[in-house]
Amino acid sequence: MKRNGRKFQDDFSNTQHLILELTGQSSAVTETSPSLPVEPESRIDVLTDLDTSISSHVDVSEFVAPQLKHTVLFHQKQKCQCASFVQSKNDAGHKTCHNHPSCQPFILILQMEWQRQFLADDPVRGHIAFIDFTHKVNDLNWPLGIIALQNSDGSGVPFAYMICSAETESTISKFVEVVGQCSPNFKPQIFMMDKSVASISAIHRLNPRIEIRLCYWHVREAWRRKLVECRLLEPERQGIMKVSLIS
């Protein structure tokens, strides 16, 4: 897959702006933003005059420039019904939802046009998918999820992103479901992930025939952590890892 390097940089810049605005990390978008090394005339900015302290409770259409709207596959405002919502705050000082069943989590699912085209160019790429989440990448401490596919040489290629207020079975199901609806060739027969109970349950809820495989790196790191907890010496740890074929 050949892509214009400039276009990729612009796409990443636009997505970064949207994520920063919707998660409250940026109070305004300016032409002199040091985090976006792209000429102003080449960039599509996220536009907002709203107070970022309420950014998780407003309509995404109020934030996004018209040229960028096609990257938003799905957006759901957070609606918290927790009685302690006002009193409880996380480490960054933001109000925290305890994800009561009556609460509606914030969900923002993003996909660039080049990512959709990546699969359209070769539908076989949609047969194996990877999903993972990372945390503490925004000042609300909300999870950032990614679905990735493989290119022809086996390298991972990001296919879609999700920012959500809670990494749960329901939000992950929505993530995979929406991506599938927007990319008809996304029909994974295998999903690779860490041993996330929420992810496994979400995938099997959508299609119990999908094969779940655990990521080699995550399995290896789990072994390493457990062996360190057992207070084994390094030679002993290495010996066990080698015998277990995960060194």
Mind listing the pLDDT tens digit for each residue in 41-59?
333 333 333 333 334 444 5
CB 141 within 8 A of CB 135: yes
**Are residues 174 and 78 located together in one domain of the fold?**
yes
Alpha-carbon separation of residue 115 from 112, 211, 214 (angstroms): 5, 24, 24
**Are residues 222 and 206 located together in one domain of the fold?**
no
pLDDT at 197 exceeding the cut of 80? yes
Instruction: Return the structure tokens found at 53.
Output: 């302290």
**Are residues 181 and 221 located together in one domain of the fold?**
no
pLDDT at 128 exceeding the cut of 70? yes
The confidence band for 217, taking pLDDT boundaries of 50, 70 and 90, is confident
Instruction: Return the structure tokens found at 2.
Output: 């050949």
**Are residues 32 and 91 located together in one domain of the fold?**
yes
- Which of 81, 75, 185, 201 lies closest to 128 in space, CA to CA? 185
What is the extent of the structural domain holding 226? 216-247
Averaged pLDDT for residues 73-91 = 69
**Are residues 58 and 158 located together in one domain of the fold?**
yes
**Are residues 184 and 239 located together in one domain of the fold?**
no
In this predicted structure, what is the pLDDT of residue 173?
Answer: 96
Averaged pLDDT for residues 147-161 = 93
The confidence band for 225, taking pLDDT boundaries of 50, 70 and 90, is confident
**Are residues 33 and 44 located together in one domain of the fold?**
yes
Of 71-80, 113-122, 179-188, 192-201, the range with the lowest mean pLDDT is 71-80
**Are residues 125 and 245 located together in one domain of the fold?**
no
CB 206 within 8 A of CB 177: yes
pLDDT at 170 exceeding the cut of 50? yes
**Are residues 247 and 193 located together in one domain of the fold?**
no
**Are residues 140 and 223 located together in one domain of the fold?**
no
The confidence band for 36, taking pLDDT boundaries of 50, 70 and 90, is very low
What one-character DSSP code corresponds to residue 104? B
In this predicted structure, what is the pLDDT of residue 52?
Answer: 36
Of 11-25, 33-47, 110-124, 129-143, the range with the lowest mean pLDDT is 33-47
**Are residues 153 and 222 located together in one domain of the fold?**
no
**Are residues 207 and 241 located together in one domain of the fold?**
no
| Total tally of structural domains belonging to the chain | 2
Of 1-5, 79-83, 210-214, 215-219, the range with the lowest mean pLDDT is 1-5
Residues 6+ apart with CB under 8 A from 87: none
3-state SS class at 94: coil
Cα distance between residue 192 and residue 169, in whole Å: 16
E strands, the chain, are 72-76, 107-110, 128-134, 144-150, 156-164, 190-193, 211-214
Cα distance between residue 76 and residue 70, in whole Å: 16
